[in-house]
Structure 1
Amino acid sequence: MTDIVAERMARLRAKMAETGTGLVAIAPGSHMQWLVGFYPHPDERPCLLLVAADKAGFLMPALNADAARQDSDLPMFTWADADGPDAALADALSELFADRAGRVVLDETMRADFALLLLDALPGIERAFTEDTVGQLRSMKDEAEFRKLKRSALLNDEAMKAAWAGIKPGMTEKEVARIVSDHFAANGARVQFSIVGANENGAHPHHATSDRVLREGDAVVLDIGGRIGGYPSDMTRMAIVGEAPEGYGQIHSIVEKAVQAALAAAKPGVPAKAVDKAARDVIDAAGYGEFFVHRTGHGLGIDVHEPPYITATSETILEEGMVFSIEPGIYLPGRFGIRLEDIVIMRADGPEILSELPRDAFVVRV
């Protein structure tokens, strides 16, 4: 077991004791990746990492066991396709969770059949998801994770600059997105997403990048992210093709003020909903509240979307080390949309922005 795995296991067990959790069950995916540094090939065969108060082990399909042993020295309760997982799971629970004391925490991303298999083996036990155990621990990044996120953010800056430099009237949204993906690939990364929305398409927050041709007078939303070193990036900026559409400058100014208000409100000890409110109040006061149609932000780590979520109802208390987006927007149907997004890490004195690009719109000269 590596030092980082041992440290994260110890932190998880401290949280388990604090929350009355007797067993944490994690399926192949980002939770397992964070905790033990790998995950086996995910398919329909039940595979679970089971962490108890003083022991841990895997319910492991036999065909994956040899490969998994190269990445972990935890015991493996293996099962073959010919036999099914029931007996191996019973053995695992007898060894790891014999006293059945405390609740069971389930990885909320696991397949429903995995969850039901486990719960059927533990009838009547209290259950919860990972919000106050693995999820809460993952929301607070250490400096090693921060360095990976910063590296990814700086590469994203360069991909955005490449897109800006390449935009010309007559190109399609997809051609602009291809510049982004090509830049990531040329620098050892892979694109996670590339939303390019011109004018009326930009009024759809999650527009599917299309063959729409860019024209002079378009306001273009560019929401892009890549992944390098296991960690993603996420940022939204604007480009103007020639002259901005009528009213653009006013709306951009409002969204920028909303970003600044959210940044000012974000402090350790503040509930996430206060950050959402700070951004929303600016847009409401300007008369565009009905056009701000989504939350103010989401966490970023191994996953592009993970806790904490910066919503109007979130009681999550922001803590030092949390990484999340601040991304208010105004979307005017049939006209254009504006979203300005930065990823921040919470420091003791407030948020530090990972990107080094200004939020001003880039103007394409035509």
Structure 2
Amino acid sequence: MDVFKDRLTRLRARMADVGTDLVALGPTSHMVWLAGADPHGDERPVMLLISQTHAGFLMPALNANSVRQMTDLPFETWTDDAGPGEALAALLKACGPASTVAVDEAMRADFALLLLDAMDAPARDFSHTTLGHLRAMKDAAELDTLRACARLNDAAATAGFDALEVGMTERDVARVIHDHYKTNGAKPEFTIVGFGQNGAFPHHHTGDTALAEDTAVLIDTGCRFNGYPSDMTRCGWFGGTPDATFLEVSGVVEQAVQAAFDAVRPGAVAKDIDAAARGVIAAAGYGDYFVHRTGHGLGIDIHEPPYITATSDVMLHEGNVFSIEPGIYLPGRFGVRLEDIVTVTADGAEILSGLPRTIWTSRR
């Protein structure tokens, strides 16, 4: 429990720094990070309110005994026949006066409105300036878990490429990867397998397309291990000599990845990382085919701040963890995306994966 006490202390310090009187969390990953509690989520209002003097839950009585095993923080419970109103009023009174509130951006809208209607017209913001800011800087234990998950993902992606055979479907390859996760104590988080022109869809839905000779293959996959996820993309060419344009595009994407890595350091701005990758691709004449941001943060959630976009002025700090994943997508032909998760260190970027980004080629 010491880690959660430390996080609560840090949150209160951050609230003081930014002038936030109250932080309100729903049953989301924010609550998991701060209190280690993961209540059953349905339409019954659940929230954790934090002020400088009090931290406590609004909790349906139905769930109280179960959640009590996860946290020592106090509860204001309510029953279905009474409703949450009186319990919420008691919790707000315990927290003290609040003229500013930061609301969990992932909280259900009806929960948030219930809270705001019970308060006296507070100035409001989302929790990205308080708890989100803290979550974005991973501690040593979180980084160790993310490294372990990344290395497990390396082996699973390798198993997927090595299993490729003529006639296999994209779903077959995903099944190989998922079996590797499960065998090694992890849960599949997601898997995109794109054969040929399907790789040109950045968020392709893995399907029943069968593998043929002389085909580009894109695998973007991640698992969840000890509560944290992984995320990585590698590309390959199955059968014969890779297409010359495929090799050219792969080389450009690798240069873009390297340029982005080189721009990472404490104090750098997120949009400058995006610009470094995007500039390489644009200079090679493929700018119109890089159709998404360069990266997203990764922690308990597979997508969380900081986001590495062309418009983000967020300054990077040591401990930030995010993807670098530029891509070039040629409609009707193929797509190439190379993705690694990095953490910001005093010296630049540490790559969590140990798997080279070398384009995989068939060993048959």
TM-score by length of 1: 0.98
* Distance of 1:131 and 1:70 partners within structure 2: 28
Match of residue 203 from structure 2: 206
| Percent identical residues | 56
Instruction: Determine helix, strand or coil for the equivalent of 2:59.
Output: strand
Matched, 1:142 2:139: yes
- What is the identity, as a one-letter code, of the residue corresponding to 1:198? F
Match of residue 253 from structure 2: 255
For residues 275-298 of structure 1, the C-alpha deviation after alignment (integer angstroms, 9 at most, x for no partner) is 000000000000100100000000
Matched, 1:157 2:159: no
- Please, which moves more after superposition, 115-124 or 260-269? 115-124
1:65-84 to 2 correspondence within 5 Å?
Answer: 65-84=64-83
For residues 73-98 of structure 1, the C-alpha deviation after alignment (integer angstroms, 9 at most, x for no partner) is 2111000000110111011101112x
Match of 1:343 among 338, 341, 344: 341
Gaps of 5+ in 2: none
Match of residue 33 from structure 2: 34
* Distance of 1:134 and 1:232 partners within structure 2: 20
* Distance of 2:346 and 2:219 partners within structure 1: 31
Match of residue 46 from structure 1: 45
Match of 2:238 among 233, 236, 241: 241
* Distance of 1:90 and 1:134 partners within structure 2: 23
Instruction: Determine helix, strand or coil for the equivalent of 1:193.
Output: strand
1:189-200 to 2 correspondence within 5 Å?
Answer: 189-200=186-197
Matched, 1:314 2:304: no
TM-score by length of 2: 0.98
For residues 194-215 of structure 1, the C-alpha deviation after alignment (integer angstroms, 9 at most, x for no partner) is 1000111000000000100111
Instruction: Determine helix, strand or coil for the equivalent of 2:355.
Output: coil
Match of residue 170 from structure 2: 173
For residues 174-225 of structure 1, the C-alpha deviation after alignment (integer angstroms, 9 at most, x for no partner) is 1001000000011111110110001110000000001001111111110000
Deviation of residue 123 (structure 1)? 3.6
* Distance of 1:363 and 1:170 partners within structure 2: 17
* Distance of 2:72 and 2:363 partners within structure 1: 59
* Distance of 2:162 and 2:363 partners within structure 1: 10
- What is the identity, as a one-letter code, of the residue corresponding to 1:31? H
For residues 18-46 of structure 1, the C-alpha deviation after alignment (integer angstroms, 9 at most, x for no partner) is 11101101011210000011221111100
- Please, which moves more after superposition, 77-86 or 236-245? 236-245
Matched, 1:59 2:49: no
Instruction: Determine helix, strand or coil for the equivalent of 1:105.
Output: strand
Match of residue 287 from structure 2: 289
- What is the identity, as a one-letter code, of the residue corresponding to 2:101? V
* Distance of 1:38 and 1:214 partners within structure 2: 44
* Distance of 2:28 and 2:122 partners within structure 1: 24
- What is the identity, as a one-letter code, of the residue corresponding to 2:296? H
* Distance of 2:36 and 2:127 partners within structure 1: 18
* Distance of 1:312 and 1:153 partners within structure 2: 26
Instruction: Determine helix, strand or coil for the equivalent of 1:38.
Output: coil
Match of 2:117 among 83, 96, 120: 120
* Distance of 1:206 and 1:118 partners within structure 2: 36
* Distance of 2:194 and 2:244 partners within structure 1: 17
- What is the identity, as a one-letter code, of the residue corresponding to 1:229? N
Gaps of 5+ in 1: none
- What is the identity, as a one-letter code, of the residue corresponding to 1:182? D
- What is the identity, as a one-letter code, of the residue corresponding to 1:4? V
Match of 1:273 among 268, 271, 274: 271
Deviation of residue 246 (structure 1)? 4.0
Deviation of residue 71 (structure 1)? 1.7
Deviation of residue 165 (structure 1)? 1.2
- What is the identity, as a one-letter code, of the residue corresponding to 1:137? L
- What is the identity, as a one-letter code, of the residue corresponding to 1:82? D
Tell me the number of residue pairs that the alignment of Structure 1 and Structure 2 aligns: 363
Deviation of residue 350 (structure 1)? 0.3
Post-superposition, which runs of at least 4 consecutive aligned residues in structure 1 deviate over 2 A? Answer: none
- What is the identity, as a one-letter code, of the residue corresponding to 1:256? E
What is the root-mean-square deviation in Å for CA atoms of aligned residues?
Answer: 0.8
* Distance of 2:136 and 2:250 partners within structure 1: 30
Instruction: Determine helix, strand or coil for the equivalent of 2:312.
Output: coil
- What is the identity, as a one-letter code, of the residue corresponding to 1:235? M
Query: Contact (CA 8 Å) 1:168, 1:364: kept in 2 or not?
Result: no
* Distance of 2:357 and 2:38 partners within structure 1: 38
Instruction: Determine helix, strand or coil for the equivalent of 1:247.
Output: helix
Instruction: Determine helix, strand or coil for the equivalent of 1:338.
Output: strand
* Distance of 2:120 and 2:333 partners within structure 1: 55
Match of residue 326 from structure 1: 324
* Distance of 2:244 and 2:210 partners within structure 1: 20
